């Protein structure tokens, strides 16, 4: 089953609770945290995540685009995150940081920017529940999907299959009705979409449209090797 994760980055922050309530039919709520250092943009912090917690029944998928994420793991976990994803490029001590996420009682995600070699996560696969393959350079919504990501997704899926672990592969950036089937075919099973959902007149309809765009692929079981070993 493919999971859809609307990114609130493209929502109207002045009516955030309403925006979040409009995507009840999604599977996860993707929350982008930016610090103005790791990426050239600033968004929100733990207080807003805490306020959102009672406003959504969806698991909160918190994507930390911040330097030294280890300094904030506890705060975001306490604020109500269900998944905390940290970037390989943002910490010198990835193993320690991922262990800290696990110890805080939430699911563990690890993210890679488009130019970061996949081998950077090879030795931490035993620690993670989800790999986030960035399909744009992080920092902004509404950017164009980077096509070479498809090969990276396929290689990440092969890596996961070899590990024998049940690890989700999430994609983030430029996901819409045209790119969604491509990333799923390549091996992704969690699709983040900001502009395609919150930029639409009806976000809930946009979630359904995205599912429909996947056709039978949307029902595919996770963990089946699709492209190459
Ligand atoms: C970008 C963020 C994304 C962003 C995606 O750095 O991590 O989650 O909201 O936006 P779209 O789907 O509009 O490319
Ligand atoms: Zn994101």
Please report the pLDDT score of residue 92 as a whole number.
98
Q: Name every residue whose Cβ is closer than 8 Å to that of residue 207 and which is 6 or more positions away in sequence.
A: 4, 6, 23, 25, 26, 197
pTM of the model: 0.96
What pLDDT does residue 225 have?
Answer: 44
pLDDT at 180: 98
What string of pLDDT tens digits covers the 229 residues of the chain? Answer: 899 999 999 999 999 999 999 999 999 999 999 999 999 999 999 999 999 999 999 999 999 999 999 999 999 999 999 999 999 999 999 999 999 999 999 999 999 999 999 999 999 999 999 999 999 999 999 999 999 999 999 999 999 999 999 999 999 999 999 999 999 999 999 999 999 999 999 999 999 999 999 999 987 655 444 444 3
Please tell me the predicted confidence (pLDDT) of residue 78. 98
- Report yes or no: 88 and 69 within 8 Å, Cβ to Cβ: no
Is 132:93 a contact under the CB 8 Å cutoff? no
pLDDT of residue 222: 53
37 touches 66 (CB < 8 A): yes
Give the pLDDT of residue 229: 36
Question: Which one of 27, 32, 35, 168 is the catalytic residue?
Answer: 32
Asked if residue 141 has its Cβ within 6 Å of ligand 1, the reply is: yes
**C-beta 9 within 6 A of ligand 1:** yes
Kind of pairing between the strands at 83-87 and 107-112: parallel
Q: Cα dihedral sign for 143, 177, 228, 131?
A: positive
Q: Is 32 designated active site?
A: yes
pLDDT at residue 219 in the model: 77
The predicted structure's pLDDT at residue 220: 62
Residues 205 and 102: their CA atoms lie apart, in Å, by 35
Q: How far is the CA of 194 from the centre of ligand 1 (A)?
A: 5
Distances (CA, A) of 11 to 18, 53, 222, 229: 10, 16, 29, 38
């Amino acid at each position: 089953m493919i999971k859809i994760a609307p990114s609130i980055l493209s929502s109207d922050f002045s009516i955030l609770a309403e925006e979040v309530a409009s995507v009840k039919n999604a599977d996860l709520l993707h929350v982008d945290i930016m610090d103005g250092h790791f990426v050239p943009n600033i968004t929100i912090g733990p207080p807003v995540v805490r306020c959102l917690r009672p406003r959504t029944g969806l698991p909160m998928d918190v994507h930390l685009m911040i330097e030294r994420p280890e300094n904030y793991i506890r705060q975001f976990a306490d604020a109500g995150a269900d998944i905390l994803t940290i970037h390989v490029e943002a910490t010198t001590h990835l193993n320690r940081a991922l262990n800290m996420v696990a110890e805080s009682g939430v699911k563990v995600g690890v993210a890679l920017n488009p130019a970061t070699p996949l081998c950077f996560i090879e030795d931490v696969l035993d620690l993670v529940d989800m790999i986030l393959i960035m399909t744009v350079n992080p920092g902004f919504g509404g950017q164009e999907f980077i096509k070479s990501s498809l090969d990276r997704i396929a290689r990440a899926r092969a890596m996961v299959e070899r590990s024998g672990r049940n690890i989700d592969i999430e994609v983030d950036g430029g996901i819409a009705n045209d790119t969604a089937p491509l990333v799923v075919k390549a091996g992704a099973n969690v699709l983040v979409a900001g502009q395609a959902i919150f930029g639409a007149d009806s976000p809930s309809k946009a979630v359904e449209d995205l599912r429909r765009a996947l056709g039978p692929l949307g029902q595919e079981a996770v963990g089946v090797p699709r492209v190459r070993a």
